[in-house]
């Protein structure tokens, strides 16, 4: 009877192992389908054969990860698939190369690692220079408090900011800012807000609502002062911390861009915390020998995107 019981336990264990194997294979199949769908969304027009090859490559990489003890193979496949899909959405260049068959999953993931390392280095360069400035360094000396080459650190900062400005999420943020000021200043938002405030003041003073005949001239007056679409008036924008003069391409604004380490010829080198603001209408004051060194701007934003008087060519 003991041998029968032992045989029953052995059969039960083998049955459990087979069930676990079937569940693992089913989970792997569902996961591969999910990863393939995610990649297809980031690679419009990709052939099924290319998508399957990418998933197979990811599976091989996931097995290598699992052997290194990072996680079970399905979890590694999910992580790798998510990372590749994110990178394809972030880098148009990589997505085009993968779609053309010039880059595989492994090469694309390597480029994603390089991107992440560059991002970390950029963040460290920016943070370090900010720390130096907070400690009072950078006041014209050649070295910071740690003995580092300040000029080299400023160069790394400028290069880091240039690379950050090229990121898709950063460009999307600039576009969002533009949409907001267009909507508010040129498409009637400010006019409606001022009219609303005027109606509230009228109600507080007179205890009754402002009628339409009184509101219309007020709105026209506000609109004429702000301008609007088709008015031909350009907005004057003071852009602080804009190493690359990021709003310069937009025709509706005259930009005065300031940064500690400019990488664009129209950006003035200036520490905003030490900037002097003069009366409205006064010309920008430019000091130093460089063509982009600025010490002061007028109250409404300076001389637009051009060079201030007295700047060299």
**Per-residue pLDDT tens digits for 57-68:** 999 999 888 888
Q: How far apart are CA 16 and CA 11, in angstroms?
A: 9
Q: How far apart are CA 33 and CA 55, in angstroms?
A: 9
Q: How far apart are CA 40 and CA 47, in angstroms?
A: 9
Q: How far apart are CA 72 and CA 66, in angstroms?
A: 5
On whether the pTM is more than 0.75, the answer is: no
β 253-259/235-240 pair status: parallel
Q: What is the SS3 assignment for 120?
A: helix
Answer yes or no: is pLDDT of 36 > 50: yes
The one-character DSSP state at 192 is H
Alpha helices in 91-104 (DSSP H): 92-99
Average pLDDT over residues 70-97: 88
β 296-298/253-259 pair status: unpaired
Q: Which two tokens stand for residue 217?
A: 């001239």
Q: What is the pLDDT of residues 112-164, one digit of tens each?
A: 999 888 888 888 887 887 787 777 654 444 445 454 577 777 778 777 877 77
Closest CA to 270 of 292, 285, 250, 251: 292
Closest CA to 91 of 61, 118, 57, 55: 118
Q: What is the SS3 assignment for 236?
A: strand
For the beta carbon of residue 151, count every other beta carbon within 10 angstroms: 11
Closest CA to 116 of 141, 147, 91: 91
Q: Directed axis angle between helix 189-206 and helix 212-226, to 10°?
A: 140
């Amino acid at each position: 009877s003991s041998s029968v019981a032992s045989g029953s336990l052995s059969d039960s264990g083998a049955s459990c192992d087979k069930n676990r194997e079937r569940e693992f294979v089913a989970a792997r199949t569902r996961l591969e389908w999910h990863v393939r769908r995610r990649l297809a969304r980031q690679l419009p027009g990709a052939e099924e054969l290319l998508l399957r090859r990418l998933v197979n490559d990811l599976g091989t990489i996931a097995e290598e990860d699992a052997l290194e003890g990072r996680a079970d193979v399905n979890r590694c496949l999910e992580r790798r698939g998510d990372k590749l899909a994110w990178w394809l959405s972030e880098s148009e260049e990589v997505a085009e190369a993968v779609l053309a068959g010039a880059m595989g999953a492994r090469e694309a993931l390597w480029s994603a690692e390089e991107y992440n390392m560059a991002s970390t280095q950029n963040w460290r360069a920016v943070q370090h220079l900010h720390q130096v400035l907070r400690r009072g360094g950078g006041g014209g000396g050649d070295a910071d408090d740690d003995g580092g080459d300040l000029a080299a650190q400023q160069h790394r900062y400028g290069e880091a900011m240039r690379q950050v400005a090229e990121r898709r999420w950063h460009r999307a943020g600039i576009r969002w800012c533009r949409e907001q000021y267009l909507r508010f200043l040129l498409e009637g938002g400010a006019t409606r807000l001022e009219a609303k405030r005027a109606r509230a003041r009228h109600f507080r003073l007179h205890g009754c609502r402002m009628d339409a005949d009184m509101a219309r001239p007020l709105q026209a007056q506000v609109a004429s002062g702000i301008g609007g679409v088709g008015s031909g008036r350009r907005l004057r924008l003071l852009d602080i911390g804009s190493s690359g003069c990021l709003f310069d391409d937009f025709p509706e604004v005259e930009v005065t861009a300031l940064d500690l380490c400019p990488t664009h010829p129209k950006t003035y080198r200036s520490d905003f915390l030490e900037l002097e603001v003069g009366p409205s209408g006064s010309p920008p004051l430019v000091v130093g020998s460089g063509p982009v060194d600025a010490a002061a701007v007028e109250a409404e934003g300076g001389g637009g995107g051009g060079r201030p008087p007295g700047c060299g060519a």
